[in-house]
Amino acid sequence: MKLNEILGQSKMGIMAVLMLPLLLLAISGILFIYQEVSRLWSKSAVQNKVVVITDAISGLGKECSRLFHAGGARLVLCGKNWEKLEILYDALISVADPSKTFTPKLVLLDLSDISCVQDVAKEILDCYGCVDILINNASMKVKGPAQNISLELDKKIMDVNYFGPITLTKALLPNMISRRTGQIVLVNNIQGRFGIPLRTAYAASKHAAQGFFDCLRAEVEEFEVVISTVSPTFIRSYHMYTEPGNWEASIWKFFFRKFAYGVHPVEVAEEVMKTIRRKKQEVFIANPIPKAAIYIRTFFPEFFFAVVACGVKEKLNVPEDRLLVKMAA
């Protein structure tokens, strides 16, 4: 009798071990299906909407363009390089169903040149006569000690990250207010909430943008205009577009990209789409540590400052020619 009980327990144990991988696979499959359904649902929220994307030729800009174009949006793609805009245009129309999509319109826009933004805004409005969704994606960052960064570079970063987006927003906002509809999405950065060493100019510009759009949110609520901010830690660069139109992500990328260092442009683009569908006001894309840092900065500032100051001394003497300056979100 005891032998039979032992054998029975052994069989149950073996079955449990065999069932675990199947259970994990089933859960993974359900999660994958849920995200695909959610993605399709999100696309319907932008169908026939006029969507303006700044810096559409960046990694995130391309992913947003692909996602919104497939969702049936009437895209106005802005960038400062016409040749790259045309490459993006060709890639989009080569993979889309022309019966379900609109041909994107291209507009040259360099947000570092504030004097041209007003004229570009008129050109954007002339495309369809209105704007339903504005995605402020263009951004520039610099890494280096504050004393090594010239005032000229500080001003350029503020132009691209702050004055450029708010100038374009102010130019397009009256159209939304008069129609009592619209949504403005700022792709910001978690450094809009707290700064870290060697990012003085970048963090300052992101703080300024965050403050502006937080205030604007309250001002335009009565006109049913939604203001959203999407703040990742940082968006990692990648070389995904080796073949025009080759944007199909495998199931393996779906499962493993969240464990990689940095936030993938695909993930941020999908979050922007969800933010628009749900009309969310603020989204952070970060693992628990950066999110916890926001609260530590608020409630335990002295501890936060002590932690971020650790290990900075040896990095302060960086020659000016080694400063890292690039377009990024």
**Residues acting as catalytic residues:** 202
Q: Are 55 and 139 in contact (CB under 8 A)?
A: yes
SS3 315: helix
H-state helical runs in the chain: 2-44, 59-70, 82-95, 117-128, 151-158, 164-179, 200-220, 251-256, 265-278, 288-299, 301-309
Segment 116-121 long-range contacts (CB within 8 Å, at least 24 positions apart)? 117/164, 117/167, 117/168, 117/171, 118/167, 118/171, 120/78, 120/168, 121/168, 121/171, 121/172
Q: Are 60 and 265 in contact (CB under 8 A)?
A: yes
Among 13, 63, 37, 41, smallest CA distance to 230 is for: 63
Q: Which residues pair with 52 in a beta bridge?
A: 76, 134
DSSP 23: H
CA 308 to chain centre: 25
